[in-house]
Structures are given as C-alpha cells and as structure tokens.
Amino acid sequence: MNGRVSFVGAGPGAADLLTLRAAQRIADADIVIWAASLVHEDVLQHARADALVVNSAEHSLEGITAHYERAAREGLLVARIHSGDPALWGGTQEQMELCRSLGLDIEVVPGVSSFSAVAAIVQRELTVPEVAQSVVLTRLEGGKTPMPDGETVRSFAGHGTTMALFLSAARTKQLQDELLAAGTYDADTPCVVAYAATWPDELVFECRLGELAEKVREHKLYKHTLVLVGPALTAGGTRSHLYHPGHFHEHRRVEDKAARDELRARRRKPA
C-alpha cells in the first residue's frame, strides 16, 4: 500500500469551520504536519492521541522531508494542514512535487478562505448585482516574494470591483496609496479590516479607504490581517436576476410579465 498525503485546508481558524472531510483526514493521520504560526491549535483536537504531530513553522521543506519519506516507506497517512485553502499562498506545489517523486498518493481537501469568512462576519455579499461581479484576490507587491510583471495592486484596483488584500498589513500606507492611485476608488470607498478572523482574539472593523493606514496603525496590526475594499461592501437596494419574478430558467417560468420587461430593459441599459 502507498502512503498518502492529504493537504488539508484548515479554514480561517475556528476548528468548527473545518470541513467534515478535513476533520476525518486529520483523525485518520499517522503523522500530522501543521504550521503553528498560521493554523489555530484547536484543529489538533481531531488528531489521534498516538499520531506524530510536527510543527512545520520550525522547519524548511527539507526539515519535513524525512516525514514524507517515512510515510512512503511505511505506507502511512499524513495530514498536512494549511491555513485557509491550500490553493492560496500555501506553498503546496513544491510539496506535491516532492510527494509524487517519493511515490506517495496525494489529495487536496479544500478549506474556507479567510476572505469569505470575513465577508460572513460582517454579513456582506462581495458580488452585488450591478455593483461588483468579480473578486480580486491579491497582495501588495514588493514583499519577500516577488510578484510577476503586470500583477500590481494599482492595476487590479483599476477594475473598481471588490478586492481582498492578503499579506499587506505591514505596509498599509503603501497599500492605501496604490489603491487610490488607480483613480477608481476614492477616499470614501468602504473597507473591512480583519485580524485573526474567527480566532478567539479576532478584531474586525470597517473604515473608509482614506483612513485605512491610520486605523490599521492605531490597532497595531501587521500580520494575520486581511483587507476587503470595494463599493459592494456598503451596496444595497439591488436584486439578483436569479430570483427576480421576470427571470426564467429550466426550473421556473416567468411569474410576472411586467417584471420580465423591466428586467430586459435593465439588461439593455448601457454601462
């Protein structure tokens, strides 16, 4: 039997926001590898008492390679726990390549990302009809990891839609300046700032873009902080087409012809 490595999304922090599959993979694992700097320790309540628990924050990839090698030799199950969703800034690709080279089976268990958790906390929809239909997930360029050419906060901000800014709190003044420099957002554009969302010591507050840097500095935030920005965060008074009485699809007929005509007129309205 081959060993298997499950790359498990731990979600934003709260242990009860793990998926059922994620909790089961942790419970089944002979070896649990987790990053204490990024993942809340409550997720370890699902681990077996006899499982080997390894804190990856203390090691480089080379430092945890021996555990993958052992899993391959002995046919063990490994739960590699990552914060949020493993597909976003998880450093999983290099680990998957290593595991494949060792002959290990691999699976990825998705997790709730912090941007959607923060939207839930403040009870906002990030894709409001006729206001924003896209969400940009990015981080401020110029940090420890270089950004590809063309990927800048200013260029993304030019779309004027909802943005989720990760890994940028330590340079919030630069972040604020870049968002405003695009010319699409103004100083009154709404923002949500979330520190350690869903953790016991979470801090979530709303502010205007023009005061973003001041508020983040006031609360002394520099890590574990996410910023949402965009007009959808305070939008209201619009309706989706999906549940409009004038909309039809394969499961429902038009319920109101006047509403149908009104909806058609909205669709023809120039941008």
Among 44, 35, 47, 102, which Cα is nearest to 75's?
Answer: 102
How confident is the model over 26-71, as pLDDT tens digits?
Answer: 999 999 999 998 999 999 999 999 999 999 999 999 999 999 999 9
- As beta bridge partners, residue 105 has 4
Task: Name the band, by pLDDT with cuts 50, 70 and 90, for residue 25.
Answer: very high
How confident is the model over 155-173, as pLDDT tens digits?
Answer: 999 999 999 999 999 999 9
Domain with CATH 3.30.950.10 in the chain: 115-234
Domain with CATH 3.40.1010.10 in the chain: 4-112
How confident is the model over 219-253, as pLDDT tens digits?
Answer: 999 999 999 999 999 987 666 656 666 566 666 66
pLDDT of residue 143: 78
How confident is the model over 195-210, as pLDDT tens digits?
Answer: 999 999 999 999 999 9
pLDDT of residue 241: 58
Domain boundaries 4-112, CATH class: alpha beta
pLDDT of residue 186: 97
pLDDT of residue 243: 63
Q: 262 pLDDT exceeds 70?
A: no
Q: What is the three-state SS of the chain?
A: CCCEEEEEECECCCHHHCCHHHHHHHHHCCEEEECCCCCCHHHHHHCCCCCEEEEHHHCCHHHHHHHHHHHHHHCCEEEEEECECCCCCCCHHHHHHHHHHCCCEEEEECCCCHHHHHHHHCCCCCCCCCCCCCEEEEECCCCCCCCCCCCCHHHHHCCCCEEEEECCHHHHHHHHHHHHHCCCCCCCCEEEEEECCCCCCCEEEEEEHHHHHHHHHHCCCCCCEEEEECHHHHCCCCCCCCCCCCCCECCECCCCHHHHHHHHHHHHCCC
pLDDT of residue 201: 94
Q: 255 pLDDT exceeds 70?
A: no
Q: 270 pLDDT exceeds 70?
A: no
Question: Two tokens at 244?
Answer: 């409009």
Q: 216 pLDDT exceeds 70?
A: yes
Tally of CB atoms within 10 A around 242: 9
One CATH from 3.30.950.10, 3.30.1330.30, 1.25.40.90, 1.10.287.1260 for 115-234: 3.30.950.10
What is the mean predicted confidence (pLDDT) over 112-138?
95
Min mean pLDDT across 82-86, 128-132, 137-141 is at 128-132
pLDDT of residue 142: 86
Residues 167 and 271: beta-carbon distance below 8 Å: no
Q: 269 pLDDT exceeds 80?
A: no
Kindly report the pTM of this predicted structure.
0.86
Percent of the chain residues topping a pLDDT of 90: 80
Q: 77 pLDDT exceeds 80?
A: yes
